[in-house]
Structures are given as C-alpha cells and as structure tokens.
Amino acid sequence: MAGTLACQSIYFFTLAPPIFLLTRLGEGLAIGLFWPNLQSSISDNTLHDHSKIMSRYNMGWNTGLLAGYSVGAIFLFIIDIVELIFYVAPFLVLFSCAVALFLFQESQKIDLASSQQIREADTSRFQKRTDLQLTAYHIPALMWIWIIVVFAFSKGGISFLYPLKSEIVGLPSFTVYLLTLLSVVMQLIGTSSATYASLKNLKRLPLVCIAVLALALLLFGATTHYYIFLVLFLMAGFSAGLLYGFALKLSVSLNMKEHTSKYSGYLESLIGLTFLISPIICGILAIYGIDFVFFLLAGIMGLFLIPYLLAMRKFRAPSDQNPS
C-alpha cells in the first residue's frame, strides 16, 4: 500500500507518458507483492471461518472498486476533466493505508503440534465444514487455471474495448464509470455468492458463467444502445464475480489441502498476466474494428468451454467416490 501511495503521489508533479508508465509499473509491483500475501493469510490454520473471511475479503476489494468508480463517475459528471482523477486517486490510497494501519488485526493461529491447544479449540466449528475434509476431494489444477483465465480475459477485454466503443458511439465519458460501477456491484454479489458455494457444486457452475460471458461479448459487438450495454455490464459483472469467487475458493482449498500458500501467488500472477495479455491482443486486433474483436472474444470464450470440460471430468468430490 505504501509503495502504491508513493507511486501515485508522483501524479501531483507530472503525468508525462514515460513517468506515468514507470509509476504504473511500480504500482503493479507493489500490488503484486500485496495481494498474494493477503490471500494466503485466509488459508492459514486459524480459528476463523474461512468462508466468512473470504466473503469479507471479496466485499473489501469490491467495495474499493466501487469507491473508485463512484468517485470517477461523479467527478466526470460534474467536471469533465479526466486528469482530475489522477489527483484524487492518491487520497483514496492514503485513506486505505490509514485503515490498514489502525484497524489491522493479527489472526489467531493454532499450533497443530500441540494436542492441548487442539482440544481447547472450538473443533466443532471445523467438523461442520465440509471444506476441511479436503483430502476426499481431487481438484485438478487445470480446471482452476481455466476459471482464472476466463475471468481475467473477459474482464480485460471488456475494460479495454468498451471505452473505445463508447467514444465511437458518442456516449458521455461519465457513463463508462457508471456502467463499470454497476458491473462491480453485480461482481460483489457474485463473489459473495460463490464464497458460500459447496466445493462439489463448483464443477458445473463455471460452465454457465462462461456461456453467459460469451453471449455478453457477442452482444457488446452487435449493439450500440446504452440500455443494452447496461444489461450486458450487469450480466458480465455477476458472471465474472462468480468465476473469481470460484477461483479464490479453489485457491484457498488447494492451499489448505497441500499446507502451502503457493496457489495464492499463482492466482494473482495468472490474473495479472492475463490482464496484461488481453488488452495487447485486443489493441492489435482493434485495427480490424472494435465489434470484430468483441465477436472474436465471444468465440474464444466459447472455445474455453472445451478445455474446461476436459479438466472438469477429473474433478472428484466425496459423493462421486462413494455413491452409496
């Protein structure tokens, strides 16, 4: 957070493209160090309810997005000066740093080597959670990877292409922030819903989400009407939120099953890499038309169903292994 604040503080002095690029790279590095550690703390052996903590985590980062897009929409609606956003953003990061500094609470850990501590812990809470019976699950890494790729690829493509299409269609600048804001609201609902889903139900639900995202991308390219864009943002936001929630739950589950934190790093690294690649691909192909790229992304989303189906067949839940 402090690194992000330091980078964004440079905006007060200059927005020159080379310096701006360097500060964005610095922000990316700081965020890349921050998020995996935050996620891996969820899967630590602690006395907390992991589903509840994941829900709070998803609510936290989505609320941050909501705050950012709300500020952007309000400022651009009142004062149509995009540069103003860069002068406001550091204050939001400063507020986040203050919250993290003064409200941080260290998690309470259990020493598994001490049977006395285990007896004193409220083990009944853990016995009621099916997610702690992870040894009975076989979670193929490829299924988890494809969920992450679809989430980041669709979000990255829409985030890059829609502002360009909005400008071509002639919609006001603030509507981009407004639609993104509503999309994040649905994303928040989606991530929160996925948090409480059972692991065995995570096998088929992403199929529906991928199909909805493919349809949304197709319609993004086929329409120019604002209210249709509104519906599409709501659809895409909710589906993407579910996918991220599924990916996070599988990441935490794999960490707990293998007693590691590496999957949190894999999750954020893969999301970051896909977010990097998708705008580059969209930018290169945009010379053939924005609508063409939307159609192409819709086709790619449809193709993603094939490797996901193949990976899904290897997923095993306790009920699959013991039909009786």
Whole-angstrom CA distances from 26 to 6, 36, 84, 278 are 9, 17, 21, 20
Amino acid identity of 37? N
For residues 209 and 243, the answer to whether their CB atoms sit within 8 Å is yes
The burial class, CB within 10 Å (0-12 / 13-18 / 19+), for 33 is exposed
For residues 236 and 154, the answer to whether their CB atoms sit within 8 Å is yes
pTM: 0.73
| Amino acid 216: pLDDT | 94
Q: How far, in Å, CA of 240 to CA of 236, rounded?
A: 6
Least Cα distance to 152 among 280, 52, 256 occurs for 280
Summarize pLDDT for 101-147 with one digit per residue, the tens: 766 655 555 444 444 444 444 444 444 444 445 566 677 777 878 88
For residues 316 and 137, the answer to whether their CB atoms sit within 8 Å is yes
| Amino acid 220: pLDDT | 94
For residues 66 and 181, the answer to whether their CB atoms sit within 8 Å is yes
219's tokens: 């319609």
Q: How far, in Å, CA of 226 to CA of 285, rounded?
A: 24
Summarize pLDDT for 173-207 with one digit per residue, the tens: 778 878 888 888 898 888 888 877 777 767 778 88
For residues 287 and 122, the answer to whether their CB atoms sit within 8 Å is no
Summarize pLDDT for 50-82 with one digit per residue, the tens: 666 766 777 777 777 777 767 766 776 677 666
Least Cα distance to 209 among 227, 228, 193, 185 occurs for 193
For residues 160 and 281, the answer to whether their CB atoms sit within 8 Å is no
CB neighbours (10 Å) of residue 166? 19
C-alpha torsion sign, points 147, 150, 152, 154: negative
SS3 call for 46: strand
Summarize pLDDT for 243-297 with one digit per residue, the tens: 988 888 888 777 777 777 777 778 878 888 888 888 889 989 989 999 999 999 9
| Amino acid 248: pLDDT | 82
Would you list the DSSP string of 90-102?
HHHHHHHHHHHHH
Least Cα distance to 216 among 155, 286, 284, 285 occurs for 155
**Gap between the terminal Cα atoms of the chain:** 51
198's tokens: 């059972």
pLDDT above 60 (res 92): yes
For residues 147 and 247, the answer to whether their CB atoms sit within 8 Å is yes
Length of the chain: 324
For the chain, list the domains and their CATH numbers: 2-101+139-312 (1.20.1250.20)
For residues 311 and 143, the answer to whether their CB atoms sit within 8 Å is yes
Least Cα distance to 31 among 42, 19, 43, 23 occurs for 23
CB neighbours (10 Å) of residue 181? 21
